[in-house]
Amino acid sequence: MNTHGTRVLSLLAALCAAVLANAQSPSARPDARLGERIYREGILPDGRAVRASVQGDIEVEGTQLNCAGCHRRSGFGSSEGAAFVPPVTGAALYGAREQNGADLFRRLFQEVQPARFRARVREPRPRPAYTDEGLAAALREGRDPSGRSLDPLMPRYRLGEEDARHLAAYLKTLSAAPAPGVTRTEIHFATVVAEGVEPEKRRAMLEVMSAYFRRKNAGTRHLQQRSGLAGPYQDDFFAASRQWVLHVWELKGAPETWLAQLDALYRAAPVFALLGGVAGGDWRPMHAFCERAEVPCLFPNTDDPVVSPQGFYTLYLSRGLTVEAEALARHLREEGGPARVVQVYREEGGGLVLARAFRRALQERGAADLRERVVRAGQKLTHGFWESLLEEERPAVLVLWLGGEDLRTLGPFGDRAQTVRRLFASSTLLGEGSQLPPEGLREKLYLTYPFALPRAEEPHAYRVRSWLRSRGVGGTREERLQLNTYFALSVADYALMRLAGNFFRDYFVESVEQETESTTNPGVFPRLSLGPGQRFASKGCYIVRPSAVARGGLEAASEWLVP
């Protein structure tokens, strides 16, 4: 063959190779994003759910059981009901298995699990590092690189070669990048204080924070000074401890500008997480920031959280005003009987949130005879306003989503208020120490109350209170805020301890989900607990009524309602 022919042939061959490679490349190259979908949702690149068998003979779909369910979004695994689920991050799989002393200590002595779990944790089960092929075999056949069978709880997935490669590519990125806000010696947190917050609230919250940080850091210094004294795990503990540094992020001006301010503050000094925080209005800008920057935000002091769609990184104490409105709707429904309900609210702030949630909750459960009276911004309520409302609407149930100032304009109405069987208001919107409506209506007044009922003794609150007083934190009428802030800090503290030096934010959020239920509840809410994917720690609300004899001036008129 002449040289020309050879050249043509080789050109042709190169062309063919290029065409072939091109045709294959979109599917052949491992794609971590496709792997992420398999991992988190159990959905294959072609949109079908991955299929698997578990416990030997149970056929399941990826929508019922997927990787993230047990190994969690962080890839650090989980522990539940004697089941130990090992980490599957790239670092864990593609390295030989080794024990982290701090992590082992935590699992053995701090994890609340049955004896079987501890026996499993003590079993080191060494194995060589995984390869991509070895991982595919483990996923499909349930065999690890040492040839040992994986627990029957681990599903055997029917994954194609390519799907396994996508998944492997994703696992290599999982919890691989160190989280901003953590250095070798320090971990940085921020707390938000928005403009317009009463100085008393600001002071109450920040005093608790600085006392907690001081005490925490003194403990860490003490631990570090003991270095060299304390046995084989000591280096691990030392490596996992950090000085806590607090940044107070003061937001100024209109709420529409807060998101940009948060971005700028974060760029200037990145933090690992936001703790507590206080703002007058809704928490939307902070929520948006945290979800976008993937910064955990733990238990801010707000009555107006973002309820829907819920985020991943923002965790709240309660659904606040929304749970009040929904609990009332449920209460009225359970009492039964058709009755005209009239709700009165200002077209702004908390009143609007309550009115929307109440309307939605009533409508969801079928027909309700609901009428509405909207008070415009700046409009003063007068005796005439109420008289015409009573005259025209003749309500059986009057729901007043108004503040104390507005409620003072009520009555006296004499016989005209006769149709009104009951009067409801929000304890949150009303504020404490508000004046009660006049006689003829006062006996009919009920409040939505999303907190624990005032009790004779609250041992946990007592203990937190004495902790605070002994560290020079003064008393305040904002005690709820102090107790809630203390709770946020202690949950963060335990959740961090559980990470054993693995400072990844998804893992932190998962740890918070786990620790919230076991951390002492200082008593503002009857119960505080989370679970995987849960974002509101307290879930219900009471209906109460004023009482001259009951403690705290309130007595329950309903059980704890979880709408």
Partner 1 sequence: MRQSRTTANAFVGLCALLLCASPASARVRKNGPARQEAGHVHGRHAGERQAGERFKRTAAAYEPPDVTLLDMSGARVGLGPLLEYDGPVLLQFIFTTCPTICPVMSSTFSAAQSKLGADAARVRMVSISIDPEQDTPERLREYARKFKAGPQWLFLTGDLDRVVAVQKAFDAYSGNKMRHEPLTFMRAAPGKPWVRLDGLLSATQLVAEYRRLASQ
Write down the least CB distance from residue 57 to partner 1, Å. 5
Q: Which is nearer to partner 1, 99 or 547 (CB)?
A: 99
| Cα gap 454→552, rounded to integer Å | 6
Q: Which is nearer to partner 1, 117 or 130 (CB)?
A: 117
Q: Which is nearer to partner 1, 84 or 258 (CB)?
A: 84
Q: Which is nearer to partner 1, 223 or 307 (CB)?
A: 223
Q: Which is nearer to partner 1, 389 or 495 (CB)?
A: 495
3-state secondary structure of 79: strand
Q: Which is nearer to partner 1, 484 or 514 (CB)?
A: 514
Write down the least CB distance from residue 236 to partner 1, Å. 11
Write down the least CB distance from residue 270 to partner 1, Å. 25
Q: Sheet holding 369-375: strands in order across? A: 369-375, 340-346, 397-401, 422-426, 445-449, 542-546, 554-556
Write down the least CB distance from residue 310 to partner 1, Å. 12
| Cα gap 440→422, rounded to integer Å | 11
Q: Which is nearer to partner 1, 143 or 215 (CB)?
A: 215
Write down the least CB distance from residue 277 to partner 1, Å. 19
| Cα gap 279→316, rounded to integer Å | 14
Number of other residues whose CB lies within 10 A of the CB of residue 311: 16
Tokens of 175: 């919890």
Q: Which is nearer to partner 1, 58 or 260 (CB)?
A: 58
User: Contact, 374 vs 343, CB < 8 A?
Assistant: no
> H/E element holding 375?
strand 369-375
Name the phi and psi angles at 536, rounded to 5.
Answer: -130, 115
Tokens of 399: 């729901």
Write down the least CB distance from residue 558 to partner 1, Å. 12
Q: Is the preceding peptide bond at 309 cis, omega within 30 degrees of 0?
A: yes
| Cα gap 206→208, rounded to integer Å | 5
3-state secondary structure of 442: helix
Cβ contacts of 74 within 8 Å, gap of 6 or more? 89, 174, 175, 504, 506, 507, 510
- Name the residue among 431, 489, 551, 465 with its Cα closest to residue 299: 489
Q: Which is nearer to partner 1, 292 or 455 (CB)?
A: 455
| Cα gap 310→291, rounded to integer Å | 10
Write down the least CB distance from residue 524 to partner 1, Å. 15
Write down the least CB distance from residue 225 to partner 1, Å. 11
C-alpha atoms less than 13 angstroms from C-alpha of 215 in its C-beta half-sphere: 16
Write down the least CB distance from residue 278 to partner 1, Å. 21
